Amino acid sequence: MRSLRITSTAADTDLRFGKVFRGRFLALLLTAYYLLLTTCASAQVKVEIDSNKRIVGDRITVKVTGTFNKNSQVYWSQPDLPSRKLELIDSVTIDTTKKGDDVIYKQTYQVSGYDSGRFYFPSIQFVVTDKGGQDKKVINTDSMPVYISLVKVDTTQPIKPIKEPVAVPFTFREFWPLLAWIFGGLALIAAIIFLVRWLNNGGKIEKKIPLKPPYEEAMIALEQLQKKRLWESGDTKGYYISLADVLRKYISRVWNMDALEMTTSEIIRALKKETVDKSIRNELKGILELADLVKFAKHNSVPDENIRSMDHAINFLRNTRPKETEPAENNVN
């Protein structure tokens, strides 16, 4: 009898556990079914067309609206127009609006047809799921018929020639916005250039000093270089760099060549074409070659070479002075 009671108690326990499990499982199923209903019950799609009768080339506006529960994930296909002999002219981005527990999606298409007949704006497929990607529901819109006709021609009237383009006179009212932009842009560029120069000069307005004639400018530079007596203080390199620069700038201005970027041999060949006297060219060649040796080969020139280089430089300027330039007074010896 004791063993029977034990068996009976275990059976009762299993029976009660089974009822509880089935009850909870049924409640889970009902909950999932309820969520599915609340997710998809409000799903509505609508396609509107402004007019299904158009002439070839006219634009047709198609509006697609979908209303779905806010807990839904929605995907929809784009219309396959080429297969329907319709062409997509324009489409706007999808507009999203929240309304209570729903989200409203709107998109507008501009299409056109270039052949006569009856065509269809194709069906659009909406796929609606919950946020977990489950409980998928597919909704397809109806395809919309579009009737496109040709332009009616009155055959009773005579054929008229094509009209020439009409010449429309331009008015200042049409041009003044463009002119305002042009002059405004130029004024802005000028202001930026002025501001940059002003800042680069430490807030001072730059004054352009007129250039002296090339002969006068070079003679003054040689006079100042001679007064510094750089080679006597041991700066032979600085002396020859300055001496060569004065001569190269003078050559650039007189013969309009980029002597600052030319080699010594290139300068001598160019002056030969300018019919500069051979002895003068040779003196210039000796100055520039000695300057190159001092600058690049660390040549140590002797005092006689330094004095002779200055004399030859002055002689070169005096013998190549432009005819239109008045002789400049100088104190270079």
The token pair that represents 152 in the structure block:
């009616």
Beta bridge partners of 202: none
Q: CA-CA distance, 312 to 331, in Å (whole number)? A: 16
Average pLDDT, rounded, for the chain: 78
Closest CA to 44 of 5, 131, 118, 102: 102
On whether the CB atoms of residues 272 and 281 are closer than 8 A, the answer is: yes
Residue 186 structure tokens: 């130029």
- CA dist 318 → 249, 303, 327 (Å): 15, 23, 9
Report which of residues 174 and 322 the model is more confident about: 322
Instruction: Please determine, for residue 3, whether its predicted confidence score (pLDDT) is greater than 80.
Output: no
Q: What is the pLDDT of residues 235-273, one digit of tens each?
A: 888 888 999 999 999 999 999 999 889 999 999 999 988
Q: Specify the 3-state DSSP secondary structure of 167.
A: coil
Alpha-helix runs per DSSP H in the chain: 2-40, 172-200, 214-228, 236-255, 264-273, 278-296, 303-319
Contact 218, 310 (CB under 8 A): no
Q: How many CA atoms lie within 13 A of 74 on its CB side?
A: 27
pTM, two decimal places? 0.39
What is the rounded average pLDDT of the residues 296-322? 88
Distance CA 44, CA 104 (A): 9
Q: Give the pairing of strands 87-91 and 144-149.
A: unpaired
Q: What is the pLDDT of residue 29?
A: 44
| Average of per-residue pLDDT across 191-198 | 85
Evaluate the CA torsion angle 282, 288, 291, 297 in order and state its sign: negative
